[in-house]
Amino acid sequence: MRFALIFEIAKALMLARMKQTMVAAVGVTFSITMFIALLGFMNGLNDLLDGLILNRTPHIRFYNEIKPSEEQPVQFFEELQGYYNIIRSVKPSGARVNIYNNEAIITTLKDDPRVLGVAPKINVQVFFNVGKVDIPGSLNGIDVAEEDRLFAFSDYVVAGDFMELQYTTNSIILGKGAADRIMAEIGDYVQVTTAQGNRLLLKVVGYYQSGLGELDNIQSYVSLGTAQKMIGEGSSFVTDIQVKMHDFILAPKTAKEYSAIFNIQADDIQTVNAQFETGSDIRSMISYAVGITLLVVSGFGIYNILNMMIYEKMDTIAILKAIGFSGMDVQHIFTTIALCIGFVGGLLGLFFGYMVCLGIERIPFETEALPTIKTFPVNFNPKYYMIGAIFSLVTTYFAGFFPSRKASNIDPVEIIRGK
């Protein structure tokens, strides 16, 4: 009963100063709207930028690294034991580039419940022979079906059918930048020369565009069989094993585990792409900082409005206390006013924030660098709406707490005597 009475008095005070109440509520609405829109857009942009790299990057990559042998012949001479042996111009060892016994490794990885999928790959350095000019490039021999399933390969094929790599012998999907450099159209044949001196004519069946210009200028794709034929190797030759995990957080641990078991080099996504994660975290922090600043500013607006309301309602407060309302009751009245403003303004802010995000998502955004993107990216994560709702109530509560405490300490005798 007492709470209902306090709410009715708070409602009457708000309606008596309707214009001020609406201004405060609009301030909260605007702050929450911009908070939701800013976080949704910035985190959508983060997802886009990270996706350009992370979606095309395996969670774990197994390969044989070309490096100098850790043990040199001089170390095996007993006469030189205990001496400092200085060796200059150490050359890389003649270790195999391909992964030995890769079929067993792939089978073991596929049987691991943590692993979503495995895609073998061959990297071949080539030259595109265009007249008298040799243009350097890099060919990736891939398992077409697995590459599409794990890395959304088809999303980046902007012309042609990506499955032609599997069905058409000696075919190639050119990087868009490479295609422009050698002026190759779909259906044309291009001649490539490998580092081993092998030459092969490849039919262009599509264009690939990742959105990263440096990669698209040199990177193209062929099937595993075509890549093996180009370098004169058998069907078991593989230089890379790409692994996608169900939970990429487990990638570092899994990479170390299998690297020790199979005695091959392993890179995990967190280590290789740490800079992108750092960039995303910084952009998110900036978004939260700006959004929270807007909420705090609106809180100061409510604080000033309640201060003015208390000043103008001194006689009302004095009468309330004179007829038996305690200082705590008066504090509850003005705190209720602040929370009502925060609740209504926050609710409207969440609605308008969602509508603004829908509007941003429908704005056309087309660029040749990002062929798969048609509109501005927006993230509709419910977490942002929960944070906005909580902060609207918290900031308005504290905005009303200090003026309400001031109102609770008013001496009714002094106010009535002054009147």
Q: How far is CA 288 from the centre of its chain?
A: 15
Distances (CA, A) of 92 to 54, 72, 259: 31, 11, 20
Burial letters for 98-108: b for 16+ Cβ neighbours within 10 Å, e otherwise? Answer: bbeebeebbee
In terms of Cα–Cα distance, which of 131, 133, 163 is closest to 147? Answer: 163
Identify whether the C-beta of residue 407 lies closer than 8 Å to the C-beta of residue 317.
yes
Q: Is the pLDDT of residue 419 over 70?
A: no
pLDDT on residue 260? 87
Identify whether the C-beta of residue 118 lies closer than 8 Å to the C-beta of residue 241.
yes
Query: d(Cα 306, Cα 401) in Å, to the nearest integer?
Result: 10
How many CA atoms are closer than 13 Å to the CA of 155, on its beta-carbon side?
A: 16
Query: d(Cα 84, Cα 244) in Å, to the nearest integer?
Result: 45
- DSSP letter at 154? G
Identify whether the C-beta of residue 43 lies closer than 8 Å to the C-beta of residue 287.
yes
Coil, strand, or helix at residue 171? strand
**Average pLDDT over the chain, rounded to whole?**
80
Sign of the Cα torsion 53, 55, 59, 60 reads negative
Query: d(Cα 414, Cα 411) in Å, to the nearest integer?
Result: 6
- DSSP letter at 156? G
At 13-38, the pLDDT tens digits run 777 777 877 877 888 888 888 888 88
Supply the pTM of this predicted model. Answer: 0.66
Identify whether the C-beta of residue 32 lies closer than 8 Å to the C-beta of residue 351.
no
Contacts of 297 (CB under 8 A, 6+ apart): 27, 31
- When comparing pLDDT for 407 and 34, which is higher? 34
Contacts of 236 (CB under 8 A, 6+ apart): 102, 103
Please report where in the chains the tokens 């790599």 appear, as a residue: 165
Distances (CA, A) of 119 to 35, 94, 210, 240: 41, 26, 19, 9
pLDDT on residue 355? 94
At 116-136, the pLDDT tens digits run 888 899 888 888 888 778 888
Q: How far is CA 307 from the centre of its chain?
A: 43
Q: Is the pLDDT of residue 204 over 60?
A: yes
Rounded to an integer, the average pLDDT of 394-412 is 75
Q: Which residues pair with 172 in a beta bridge?
A: 204
Query: d(Cα 10, Cα 12) in Å, to the nearest integer?
Result: 5
Rounded to an integer, the average pLDDT of 397-402 is 79
Distances (CA, A) of 247 to 56, 115, 244: 16, 8, 9
Q: Is the pLDDT of residue 316 over 80?
A: no
In terms of Cα–Cα distance, which of 33, 53, 31 is closest to 41? Answer: 33
At 42-98, the pLDDT tens digits run 888 777 777 766 777 888 888 887 666 666 666 667 666 777 767 766 665 545 577
Query: d(Cα 283, Cα 289) in Å, to the nearest integer?
Result: 10
- Farthest-apart Cα atoms in the chain, separation: 109
Query: d(Cα 75, Cα 390) in Å, to the nearest integer?
Result: 67
Residue type, 310: I
For 248-316, the DSSP string reads GGGHHHHHHHHHHHHT-EEEEHHHHTHHHHHHHHHHHHHHHHHHHHHHHHHHHHHHHHHHHHHHHTHHH
pLDDT on residue 1? 41
The phi and psi torsions of 316 (rounded to 5 degrees) equal: -65, -40
For 67-92, the DSSP string reads -B-SS-GGGG-GGGTTS-----SPPB
Residue type, 309: M
